[in-house]
Amino acid sequence: MPTEKTLNDLFLDTLKDILFAEKQILKALPKMARAAQSEEAKAGFLQHRDETQGQIERLEQVFGLVGKPARGKTCEAIQGIISEGEEIMEEYKGTAALDAGLISSAQAVEHYEIARYGTLKSWAAQLGLDEAVALLDANLQEEIATDQKLTALGEAAANPKASRQAAE
Ligand SMILES: [Fe+2]
Ligand SMILES: [Fe+2]
Tell me the CA–centroid distance for residue 11 and ligand 1, in Å. Answer: 17
Residues with beta carbon < 5 A to ion ligand 2? 110, 113, 143
Q: Looking at the CA of 150, which ligand is closest?
A: 2
- pLDDT at site 61: 98
pLDDT single digits (tens) 123-137: 999 999 999 999 999
Tell me the CA–centroid distance for residue 33 and ligand 1, in Å. Answer: 16
Our count of domains for the chain comes to: 1
- pLDDT at site 102: 96
- Confirm whether 74 is domain-assigned: yes
- Confirm whether 19 is domain-assigned: yes
- Confirm whether 41 is domain-assigned: yes
Number of Cβ within 10 Å of residue 5's Cβ equals: 9
Q: Tell me if the pTM is above 0.75.
A: yes
H or E segment to which residue 95 belongs:
none
List Cβ<8 Å contacts ≥24 apart for 111-117: 111/147, 112/21, 112/77, 112/78, 112/81, 113/18, 113/21, 113/22, 113/25, 113/139, 113/143, 114/140, 114/143, 114/144, 114/147, 116/14, 116/17, 116/18, 116/21, 117/18, 117/143
- Confirm whether 45 is domain-assigned: yes
- Confirm whether 1 is domain-assigned: no
- Confirm whether 59 is domain-assigned: yes
- Confirm whether 2 is domain-assigned: no
Enclosing domain of residue 108:
7-167
- Confirm whether 60 is domain-assigned: yes
Q: Which residues of the chain have pLDDT under 50?
A: none
pLDDT single digits (tens) 78-104: 999 999 999 999 999 999 999 999 999
Tell me the CA–centroid distance for residue 139 and ligand 1, in Å. Answer: 7
Cβ atoms 140, 118 nearer than 8 A: yes
The CATH number of residue 125's host domain is: 1.20.1260.10
Tell me the CA–centroid distance for residue 2 and ligand 1, in Å. Answer: 34
